[in-house]
Amino acid sequence: MHQHLTFSLKIAALALLIGASWQASAATPDLTIDQLRQQREKIKQRPRRIWFNHDGCDAWYFNTNSLKGRAQATPEDLLNVRTTQLADKQVDALSYCTICSGFGNFTHRTKIGHTLADPKRVVIDEPNANIRNITGDLIAQGTDPLQVMVDFCKAKNIEIFWSMRMNDIHDSAWTPEKGYPLFPKLKEQHPEWLLGSYSNKTAYGEWSGVNYARPEIRDYCYRFFEEVCQNYNVDGVEMDFLRMLQYFPSVSNGGQASDKDREMMTELMRRIRTMTEREGLKRGRPFLIAVRAPDSAEYSRNLGLDIEQWMKEGLFDCFIGSDFSQLNQFSYQVDLAHKYGVKCYPGLSVMLNVKAGDRPRYGDASYRARAMNVFAQGGDGVYIFNEYDANRNYLCSIGSLASLLGQDKEFFVTWVWEKPCAYLAGGNRYQRIDLLTPADPIRLTAGKRVERGLYVGEDLRAAIAAGLTPALDLELQVAKLGTADNAQVDWNGKPLKGGDLKANQLHFKLTPDQVIQGLNRVGLTELQAMAPETSLDWTVNYSCAYKLAGTNQPPWRRLFNNGNWEEKIVDGALLFADRGTKATDTINLVYPWTPRTDVPCTVEVRVKVLQSTDPMAVVVRLANGEHVEFLTLAPDRIGLAKAGLSAAYNTTNAFHTYRIEAKGTDLKVYADEQLMLDGTGRFTASATDPANATPMTYGLEDWNHCSLLIGSNSGPGQGTALWGGIRFRITGQASWEDLLLKVSYPKALTK
């Protein structure tokens, strides 16, 4: 196969001159394959308290302020970003990722892929003259970022794994107008190797992912791993399937992986395992293989990743399950891995998918609680991902039960939740743990009990036996409850008394004998619906002058299920364009809410319709838990789809403000303060009837019942509109937003 990606001539020549310094040992000791495998099994058993995924990009986004006027960065400068600090932590293994936003881009020296050595082509959210890529600096000194990490880890007795993101798609930020500096050359030269294109996006995942059904992609992937094993003295390689979970067109287009898809990926795994054994024999020491994949064999299998089959065949050694989503309790992945002799290091990713500021999920006590849950469920160690501060205190204590003893902890029902349906149609059905966050609240109905499970790995009896006295504070975040007396809370089937309500937080003191080491069940009943407040303040006021950050800005979510869409800011307004023509093609922005049906709810949107081929192609959808309605904005008229009302109106000549007022079964629509649609008594369509649902890429079934949505609800129809603002006022429905158990110890005993 021709090598489509090469070094620049300068870097290639330099690599030849200094090649000996970065080659792994070429010795060929007299070692049999059986002896190699025995060595590998022994090394596999090595303790790994904390396995730290470095995430790379330290060289790519290097801040030159630290150079203090020096022109060139050194290996020490790179290490000081977030590696040197790990030496005095409980980190026993380091995964270093050199891939940069796309298949084929690397910050290590490669002749198969493309080495990112240009100091100027750096992508950051805000231009910063002090940020540049120092990969070229290091290469000029006879090394590179990966070699620097290998040398450091060998000196500090830390295992070093090269980590490859199997299908990173951050480069989907590419646009025809601006391009994208990190869009790989391989993708530029072979767009037919991608799962989609900018104008033909995938329904699930992102269009820029490479297609593993192509033999060329599988071969490139194999050669990337082979080259590293031949040229770097790493202890192992890590196949990071979690970033991101898209591999086959069958899945990206809304189906499931076929047996043929799975066999193609399994054959790649076999090929890489065989290669690591061959290269291990050459150097006289084995390579371990680690796999990051979803913590569900079923979910993974339908994505095309037959992880259980890989375990059965002994194709990898260490399993890291869960990432920004967790589908099962940690014991699931531990039991699955241990069944086949695979070591398991459950992943503790940064908590990104939770409403910011409501609870300290990112705090040290939160990490300690998650680690305690891992060890209580049999994990061999913990795996940290997307942590950029190597000075974090929790890295000194989460590596063992002994060091966690006596440490403060904060246990939540749910820490992370990226929707499983982001990558697989119907993927939420594999979610086997309870969900509760401020971005995913539970609507309360007076007299109806709701329940959530809270896993507590802390052995409080062991703490007491060690002379420690834990204080236990249970916090329920409940909006619009009124008073503490208006709630009945039960813990493991027994009512709790003496709750104290402060700022929407209902507090109870527990005793150690009340807490099960394992899953505790917590029930909440609102006793009586409170009288609604009368404030005229807007509950949410989104100006639409900026795109919501990243994929989501909880509790807002983007629900794009479309092969051809566009989202951008145009003259201070948010442009939504649904250009897809498939039955499932939609593009929506959705907000979960809990409005009361017996009091007024007001929604205002400022919109200019640019184009629409179907009345449902530009809509505002309201669902309040009982009823649902669509305000349709066609070029020449507006309507209420479920009520069967419409009125002539020019929606294209300017921005118009549409106000929707709803209460009970009544709904009215005003356009620029003029009453246009009177739906009194006609707001009756059932929000829970599947026939009234909207296609939701992420499988947010509950949000079909209770949410505000703007965008397109037409599959074949196409619509483009400029949204100048969205705001709404709701008199609040009581809702359960969070649950937290704080386990605190005397400060004198806390390390």
Q: What is the pLDDT of residue 126?
A: 55
Q: What is the band of 7 on the pLDDT scale with cuts at 50, 70, 90?
A: very low
Q: What is the pLDDT of residue 542?
A: 94
Regarding whether 485 and 413 lie in a shared domain, the answer is no
Query: Which of 17-21, 192-196, 479-483 is predicted least confidently?
Result: 17-21
Cα-based angle 717, 722, 727 (whole degrees, multiple of 5): 110
Residue 521 in any domain: the answer is yes
When divided into structural domains, the chain yields a total of: 3
Tens-digit pLDDT profile for residues 322-352: 888 899 999 999 999 999 999 999 999 887 6
Regarding whether 599 and 626 lie in a shared domain, the answer is yes
pLDDT over threshold 50, residue 503: yes
| CA 119/CA 654 separation, integer angstroms | 46
Q: What is the pLDDT of residue 203?
A: 85
Q: If you count DSSP H runs as helices and E runs as strands, how many of each does the chain have, helices first?
A: 16, 39
Q: Which of 422, 450, 485 is the last residue of a domain?
A: 422
Strands in 431-555 per DSSP E: 442-443, 449-456, 471-479, 487-491, 494-495, 500-502, 505-510, 518-526, 540-542, 552-553
| CA 412/CA 738 separation, integer angstroms | 8
Q: What is the band of 698 on the pLDDT scale with cuts at 50, 70, 90?
A: very low
Name the helix (H) or strand (E) containing 311.
helix 307-312
Question: Helix or strand or coil: residue 140?
Answer: helix
pLDDT over threshold 50, residue 24: no
Average pLDDT, the chain: 90
Alpha-helical segments (H) within 232-258: 249-252
Regarding whether 553 and 519 lie in a shared domain, the answer is no
Q: What is the pLDDT of residue 422?
A: 85
Regarding whether 512 and 546 lie in a shared domain, the answer is no
| CA 146/CA 132 separation, integer angstroms | 18
Residue 428 in any domain: the answer is no
Nearby residues of 595 by Cβ (< 8 Å), 6 or more positions away: 601, 624, 625, 662, 706, 730, 731, 732, 733
pLDDT over threshold 70, residue 623: yes
Residue 325 in any domain: the answer is yes
Q: What is the pLDDT of residue 408?
A: 96
pTM for the whole structure: 0.89
Residue 618 in any domain: the answer is yes
Q: What is the band of 738 on the pLDDT scale with cuts at 50, 70, 90?
A: very high
SS (H, E, C) 671-720: ECCEEEEECCCCCCCECCCHHHCCCCCCCCHHHHHEEEEEEECCCCCCEE
How many CA atoms are closer than 13 Å to the CA of 594, on its beta-carbon side?
21
Q: Is 430 or 22 the better-scoring residue by pLDDT?
A: 430
CATH code, domain carrying 598: 2.60.120.200
Whose CA is closest to 375, among 330, 415, 332, 339? 330
Q: What is the pLDDT of residue 120?
A: 73
Residue 515 in any domain: the answer is yes
Whose CA is closest to 164, among 108, 84, 124, 90? 108
Q: What is the pLDDT of residue 359?
A: 58
| Chain-centre distance for alpha carbon 570 | 28
pLDDT over threshold 50, residue 4: no
Query: Which of 45-59, 215-229, 574-588 is predicted least confidently?
Result: 574-588
Regarding whether 215 and 100 lie in a shared domain, the answer is yes
Q: What is the pLDDT of residue 697?
A: 45
Residue 434 in any domain: the answer is no
Residue 427 in any domain: the answer is no
Tens-digit pLDDT profile for residues 239-297: 999 988 999 999 999 899 999 999 999 999 999 999 999 999 999 999 999 999 999 99
Question: Helix or strand or coil: residue 161?
Answer: strand
Q: What is the pLDDT of residue 583?
A: 81
Strands in 245-322 per DSSP E: 288-293, 318-321
Regarding whether 78 and 141 lie in a shared domain, the answer is yes
Of 129-138, 157-166, 203-212, where does the model show the most confidence?
A: 157-166
Q: Is 520 or 17 the better-scoring residue by pLDDT?
A: 520
Structural domain of 503: 441-530+736-749
Q: What percent of the chain has pLDDT over 90?
A: 72
Q: What is the pLDDT of residue 565?
A: 86
Phi, psi of 611 (to 5 degrees): -165, 145
Of 294-308, 428-442, 696-710, where does the model show the most confidence?
A: 294-308
Regarding whether 510 and 375 lie in a shared domain, the answer is no
Cα dist from 88 to 75, 157, 322, 465, whole Å: 19, 12, 27, 30
pLDDT over threshold 80, residue 451: yes
Regarding whether 741 and 719 lie in a shared domain, the answer is no
Name the helix (H) or strand (E) containing 606.
strand 601-612
Average pLDDT over every residue of 98-126: 84
Whether the bond between 244 and the residue before it is cis, its omega within 30 degrees of 0, is yes
Q: What is the band of 379 on the pLDDT scale with cuts at 50, 70, 90?
A: very high
Q: Residues 194, 208: contact at Cβ < 8 Å?
A: yes
Q: Which two tokens stand for residue 579?
A: 């250009």
Regarding whether 556 and 515 lie in a shared domain, the answer is no
Q: What is the pLDDT of residue 239?
A: 98
Q: What is the pLDDT of residue 584?
A: 78
pLDDT over threshold 90, residue 602: yes
Regarding whether 495 and 365 lie in a shared domain, the answer is no
Q: Which two tokens stand for residue 259?
A: 């047996």
| Chain-centre distance for alpha carbon 22 | 35
Residue 467 in any domain: the answer is yes
Q: What is the pLDDT of residue 582?
A: 84
Average pLDDT over every residue of 44-66: 93
Regarding whether 373 and 501 lie in a shared domain, the answer is no
CATH code, domain carrying 499: 2.60.120.1200
| CA 395/CA 561 separation, integer angstroms | 39
Q: Which of 362, 390, 422 is the last residue of a domain?
A: 422
